[in-house]
A and B are shown apart, each in its own frame.
Chain A
């Protein structure tokens, strides 16, 4: 059973992600962040819950929607914000930006801008775990849109054939840009896509941290026992447009508001902390305020940091 201290810590992480993303969107509006910028607002419980059960040997990879993964794994918000602003103090020295963040220290391999590519790469991470016999497993996050790429199924096939240690986290947030899942995916839905490879699928409510925690524990123990791959089909929702430039006219305001009001992952944990664990609202506000300060610091750090020098241009092309 999870204790109240852990729940508070997880609450804090989710608030960190949301506050970070909100600040990123402000810095975008002010012209500090440029190009593509995809926010994780609404989906916070997914990566927070799954990474809670991570071991130090494990590895992970995701799409361009990657700020949250960095933060939850423990990369300092200053470094993530600085990367967003293209500064030399950022995680890729400003060379990658929003979509291309990595943390070698946490075995986090990005940050991939090509939809679906991370699924094959993540399967390769699992291959390496098995090859090295290091006990680690790969957490490979991808979206409902990515789930239609051919390489996903090529990967599923080999992962199952070779019993690779991998948890596929299919984050179904309902939309791939302006295309809803039902307009893009045939058959009985994405949760059945592992069937013909005999990869089991666990259904997860991604708006409920506790469900994510419980199901990911299940998934992880299945994979760690050497059973091969598993799929977590996570039902979740993104509150903002696909990226900063998407007005999201393909869905109604009512649809978005209904999720915010009834299924918000942060609100849910907050209410549980107050109602079931008798945590005082004051203590929660204290956490929120602390995070607020950390985020302000991160923004200040990013804005005040220097852009990379000219000498950086030709570095890191080859070793």
Chain B
């Protein structure tokens, strides 16, 4: 057992995979000399040199395409987006070039690439820098989409993502980078690119979430239990494509209630998908309608007074859960 930050976990995952496979390299803005805008690649330039840890100009569409091309040719690029907001410049290559080529080539050409970086709402940086893209990518066949919460998940899943033969969108969260977690010695054996985990078991309501929202769900579960005697089962979805249907459905069959918490907008969000899955697969087990908690349907405002209204948080999880149990 070891206590490390998510930041270190991500760095270690890249370093270990780069040591293991010379075809793995890191490409992105400020990843080399500056050691990463958020210091995720600390020390990697020093260890692996400038042919494998490469600073790009600010040109997301171009360097993402270069990464995808290199992956088609057999290399294993890790593309770092300073934040996923800027991956919008490159989403064409992520979807049209990376996600679809295996299919279009009848299985001949695959694309082993990882697109990683900060996603979500870091706080006080306004609309263009506060955006959860989970549902955007989870929509697309051909991609795997992962959003870890803990350091163990960050490390284990990033290592698996790098080894995976498909394009993987790896959504990190700036507010989790500095958070410490205990981590076991063999993380890749404890996680999978298609498995959710039950972080806390309960009997009254299932709360699903991913990334930073897991924290809101866990905090809320404590309050629900201590103050209101409500036993919440907290599921960390971890992978959003493919989504771990079995774990969710089994849980709902037990609790009869489900609430999803996410940072993205509600319309066509991950919560919408989960609601549909539950209705299709466990309708008869439901004691009340499935609920969704997400950000307000507005571009995220800068001002603190409005931003906290716009965002999900643990208090809102508590309020919604109580209303579902009428307690």
How many angstroms between the C-alpha atoms of A185 and B57 in the bound complex? 7
Q: Which residues of A contact B55 (CB under 8 A)?
A: 179, 183-184
Whether A250 pairs with B310 at a CB distance below 8 angstroms is no
**Contact indicator B30/A86 (Cβ below 8 Å):** no
Confirm or deny: B127 has a beta carbon within 8 angstroms of a beta carbon on chain A.
yes
Q: Could you tell me the distance between the alpha carbons of A98 and B302 in the complex, rounded to whole angstroms?
A: 9
Residues of B within 8 A of A95 (CB): 126-127, 301-303, 306
Q: Is A2 an interface residue (CB 8 A)?
A: no
Dominant secondary structure of chain B at its interface with chain A: loop
Residues on B with C-beta less than 8 A from A146 are 58
Cβ proximity bits B291-327 to A, threshold 8 Å, 1 near / 0 not? 0000011110111111001100000000000000000
Given known A94-B301, A317-B298, contact A150–B124 (CB-CB < 8 A)? no
Contacting B at CB under 8 A, from A252-294, are none
Check A99–B61 contact: CB distance below 8 A: no
In the assembled complex, B123 has its CB within 8 A of some CB on chain A: yes
Q: How many whole Å from B66's CB to the nearest CB in chain A?
A: 12
Question: Given contacts A150-B62, A313-B306, A313-B309, is CB(A177)–CB(B34) below 8 Å?
Answer: yes
Closest Cβ of chain A to B257, distance in Å, is 28
Cβ distance A11 to chain B, nearest Cβ, rounded Å: 32
The answer to whether B89 and A34 have CB atoms under 8 Å apart is no
A-B contact count (CB 8 A): 125
Q: Mark B132-145, 1 if CB is under 8 A from A, else 0.
A: 00000000000000
8 Å CB contact of B57 from A35, A93, A94, A145: A145
Chain B residues with Cβ below 8 Å from A183 are 33, 55
Please tell me which one of the listed residues B89, B296, B305 contacts residue A314 in the complex, with CB atoms under 8 A apart: B296
> Closest CB of chain A to B151's CB: distance in Å?
23
- The count of chain A contact residues (Cβ–Cβ below 8 Å) is 41
User: Which residue in A88, A98, A116, A179 is a CB contact (below 8 Å) of B30?
Assistant: A179
Interface residue B204 (Cβ < 8 Å from any Cβ of A): no
**Taking the complex as formed, is B129 at the interface, i.e. its CB lies under 8 A from any CB of chain A?**
yes
Instruction: Choose among A97, A115, A150, A184 the residue that contacts B126 (Cβ–Cβ < 8 A).
Output: A97
Residues in B neighbouring A176, C-beta threshold 8 A = 57-58
Contact A184 B58 (CB under 8 A): yes
Q: Which B residues are CB-close (under 8 A) to A317? A: 297-299
Q: Say yes or no: A312 contacts B306, CB within 8 Å.
A: yes
Among A88, A114, A310, which residue has its beta carbon within 8 angstroms of that of B89? Answer: A114
B302 touches A35 (CB 8 A): yes
CB contacts (< 8 Å) of A93 on chain B: these are: 303
Q: How large is the interface on B (under 10, 10 to 19, 20 to 34, 35 or more residues)?
A: 20 to 34
Q: B262 in the interface, Cβ–Cβ < 8 Å?
A: no
Contact A86 B127 (CB under 8 A): no
Quick check: is B86 within 8 A (CB to CB) of the other chain?
A: yes
Chain B residues closer than 8 Å to A98, beta-carbon distance: 302
Q: Quick one: closest A residue to B128, CB to CB?
A: A113
Q: Check if B96 is an interface residue, CB within 8 A of chain A.
A: no
Q: Which of B129, B299, B309 has the most CB of A within 10 A?
A: B129
Tell me how far the C-beta of A194 lies from the nearest C-beta in chain B, rounded to whole angstroms. Answer: 18
- Name, among A36, A97, A98, A184, the residue most crowded by chain B CB atoms within 10 Å (CB to CB): A97
Cα distance A177–B30 when bound, in Å? 8
Residues of A within 8 A of B172 (CB): none
Q: Which listed residue (A97, A114, A149) contacts B303, Cβ 8 A? A: A97
A178 interface residue, CB < 8 Å from B?
yes
Whether B85 sits at the interface, judged by CB under 8 Å, is yes
Q: How far is the CB of B222 from chain A (nearest CB, A)?
A: 27
Q: Say whether B298 contacts A114, CB under 8 Å.
A: no
A116 to B57, CA, bound (A): 12
Contacts of B62 in A (CB 8 A): 150
Closest to A312 in B: B306
| Given A150-B61, A177-B29, A35 and B125 contact (CB-CB distance below 8 Å) | yes
Query: B62, B127, B302 — which one has the most chain A CB atoms within 10 A of its CB?
Result: B302
For B59, give its contact among A86, A92, A148 (CB under 8 Å): A148
Known A146-B58, A177-B34, A178-B30: A100·B126 in contact at CB below 8 Å: yes
Contact of B58 with A116 in the complex, beta carbons under 8 Å? yes
- Assess whether B73 is interfacial by the CB under 8 Å rule: no
Residues of A within 8 A of B199 (CB): none
Interface status of B288 (Cβ within 8 A of chain A): no
Given A36-B125, A177-B37, A178-B33, also A100-B59 (CB < 8 A): no
Complex: A95 Cα to B299 Cα, angstroms: 9
Q: Is the CB of A94 within 8 A of B298?
A: no
A178 touching B34 by the CB < 8 A rule?
A: yes
Q: Which residues of A contact B303 (CB under 8 A)?
A: 86-88, 93-95, 97, 307-308
Q: Give, as a whole number of angstroms, the nearest-CB distance from B136 to chain A.
A: 16
Q: Say yes or no: is A96 at the interface (Cβ < 8 Å to chain B).
A: yes
In angstroms, Cα B55 to Cα A98, docked, is 27
Alpha-carbon separation in the docked complex, A308 to B302 (Å): 11
Give complex CA distance A185, B29 in Å: 13
Identify 13 residue pairs between A and B in the complex whose beta-carbon atoms are under 8 Å apart, listed by A's number.
A34-B124, A35-B126, A97-B126, A97-B302, A97-B303, A99-B126, A99-B129, A146-B58, A149-B61, A179-B30, A310-B309, A312-B301, A314-B297
Residues of B within 8 A of A (CB): 29-30, 33-34, 37, 55, 57-59, 61-62, 85-86, 88-89, 123-129, 296-299, 301-306, 309-310
Given A99-B125, A100-B302, A146-B58, 7 extra CB contacts under 8 A: A94-B305, A95-B306, A97-B124, A113-B128, A114-B86, A148-B59, A183-B55
Closest 6 A/B residue pairs (Cβ): A97-B302, A86-B303, A94-B303, A35-B124, A307-B305, A34-B124
